[in-house]
Amino acid sequence: MLPNMVRAACFALALVASPAMASDLGEFNVAAEAVASHNRVAIGYLRTGNNDLAALEIDRTREAWGALQRHFAGRRPDVFAGNRVYSRMFTGVSARLVAAALLLNAGRPDAAADSLNAIRGDFYALREAAGIVVLADCVRDANTAMDALMVYNDRAIDWTKPETTFGLAGKASIYGYVLDRCDRVADMPVHQAPEFRRLVDGAKASLALIPKAIETRDGDLLHRVLIELRSFDNLLAFRYG
């Protein structure tokens, strides 16, 4: 009996003495977005070959990550209680940031970008395990759906195969569904922002042309539409992913 009472007393004292279990998920999300915003800009610069600017953004990502670590490493929001991904994320992200900087300095920007993209995956896995969905995760799902759709980017596509038309229509439908979900997930300021509306509405308008390309068996039209969609998709990832 006595040991149980001692443990209970120690637990109660810990709760009073330290804010060890933060209940404010919003505060964590703000810190995570600070990391993600610099990380995605770094990825964008690597994609366009601006390695010097990418290195600067990697440094800023590390600073934002350091701030999140100091505040939340031992003070996880309640929603992540018992979430094993939480502890692994702190080790993983730190290692990936070091690796990204070293790889970029070694003249391997593609590998550096892979490391930074893996950080997006770390945050995604954490929130997925907790049943949390934010816009950045939805945009990541959209990127994945777009990758599947780009398989049909072939001017010489064989329209005679039923699996071509059914597969293309199905992948386009999935991408449209994910875009709609992202539109719903975005908070009101982002949802109404002209930049967000231009990207999402522009992607939906391009997507609406795919049935015409299928009906007319127009490989050139399909190619132009998919290139437009990939552009919108990349910009969504650069700004919100």
| Residue range 100-115, pLDDT digits in tens | 999 999 999 999 999 9
C-alpha distances in Å from residue 213, one per residue of 18, 42, 48, 207, 231: 62, 35, 30, 10, 19
- Quick one: pLDDT band at residue 173, thresholds 50, 70, 90? very high
Mean residue pLDDT across the chain: 87
pLDDT (mean) for 181-198: 94
DSSP code for 21 = S
Question: What is the distance between the alpha carbons of residues 142 and 147, in angstroms, rounded to a whole number?
Answer: 9
- Give the pLDDT band of residue 82 (cuts 50, 70, 90): confident
Angle, in degrees to the nearest 10, between helices 51-72 and 84-105: 150
What pLDDT sits at residue 106? 96
User: Does residue 10 surpass a pLDDT of 50?
Assistant: no
Structural domains for the chain: 23-132 (1.20.120), 136-240 (1.20.120)
Mean pLDDT computed over 165-171: 94
pLDDT at 211 over 70: yes
